Amino acid sequence: MLVFLNGKLVAEEEATVSIFDRGFLYGDGLFESLRVYRGKVFRWREHWERLTRGAEFLKIRIPFGMDDLAGHAAELIARNGLAEALLRITVSRGVGVRGYSPKGAEHPTVVMTLHPVIEDAGELTRAWRVVTASRRLPAGEALAEFKTCNKLAQVLARAEADAAGADEALVLNTDGDVVEGASSNLFWIADGTVCTPALLSGILAGVTRLVVLEICGKLGLRTAEARIKPVEFGRVEGAFVSLSTRGVIEIGEVDGQRIGTSLLTGRIRAEYEGMVSGKDEDGG
């Protein structure tokens, strides 16, 4: 497989960064995981916008423009001949002075890698069994909105899901609310309303979260930003997670508590599938 590294396509086994790269030292960087369908990246612009807003927040100057990097991504996909794939973009601050200060790091590292999609059809349609994880995210943390390379809480949450034989871990914030999945955003249906935690609860501003809210608007469904405690899942009409790499996936169980199936989840899911299958004109 070829990967993109600072403007060049190189063999993945030769793709390395300095041990002084601040991405390696401190997780001082950002990334995006995008889905490639039939050779085309889904929602490139939205991912790019989150990446650049994050870069502004961290004061990292990305040395490529949107169309420029999109061209490199297209070349990467074509050269690897991988039409159904995940694309990861990583931007780290690069090498600077010793210590936490970001001073002197003038050359960010930019990497793009492609990953084959490994999933069977059953995997995509069955409801997920999820567990709540031990680590707490800081409530109200604005930095959480961006997909930074500080993902240990998510790595450990995922390890807890693995240990429990679950499909995903849900993560709580320091207020005790369930706010997102380790690699997904959370939705639930209550009183016929599609609910999701507010960005201010300290969650990732997921691209697929926005697509789901768009879909709800299109379908005329009521939506609300709301809060939920682990025990309250027993009372919801349905729940699902959203993630760029998989789309919309129903939650069947939270910590052993069975969750009902809402027709709304199916409608949102069908609409999303339409978009990514290219049947929807806006989906590209």
Contact residues for a second copy, defined by CB under 8 A: 3, 5, 12, 15-28, 31, 58-59, 86, 90, 92, 98-103, 111, 113, 115, 135-141, 143, 148-159, 162, 174, 182-183
**Least distance from C-beta 238 to a second copy, angstroms?**
25
Nearest to a second copy of 92, 208 (CB atom): 92
Expressed in angstroms, the distance from the first to the final Cα of the chain is 25
Nearest to a second copy of 17, 66 (CB atom): 17
**Least distance from C-beta 54 to a second copy, angstroms?**
10
269 alpha carbon, distance to own chain's centre: 17
Nearest to a second copy of 59, 279 (CB atom): 59
**Least distance from C-beta 190 to a second copy, angstroms?**
27
The residues, any chain, with a CB within 8 Å of residue 199's CB and separated by 6 or more, are 145, 205
**Least distance from C-beta 218 to a second copy, angstroms?**
30
Nearest to a second copy of 101, 279 (CB atom): 101
Nearest to a second copy of 183, 196 (CB atom): 183
User: Which two tokens mark 69?
Assistant: 């990097």
Residue with tokens 């899942």: 233
Long-range CB pairs of 14-18 (<8 Å, 24+ gap) are 15/111, 17/92, 17/109, 17/111, 18/95
140 alpha carbon, distance to own chain's centre: 19
Cβ neighbour number for residue 279 with a 10 Å cutoff: 9
**Least distance from C-beta 263 to a second copy, angstroms?**
31
Q: Could you give the strand order of the β-sheet that contains 109-116, starting from the edge strand earlier in sequence?
A: 8-11, 2-5, 109-116, 85-92, 29-37, 40-41
Paired residues of 86 in beta bridges: 35, 115
Cα torsion through 76, 81, 84, 89, rounded to 10: -10
Nearest to a second copy of 15, 276 (CB atom): 15
Nearest to a second copy of 66, 139 (CB atom): 139
**Least distance from C-beta 64 to a second copy, angstroms?**
17
The whole-angstrom separation of Cα 254 and Cα 233 is 7
**Least distance from C-beta 148 to a second copy, angstroms?**
6
Count CA atoms within 13 Å of residue 28 on its CB side. 24
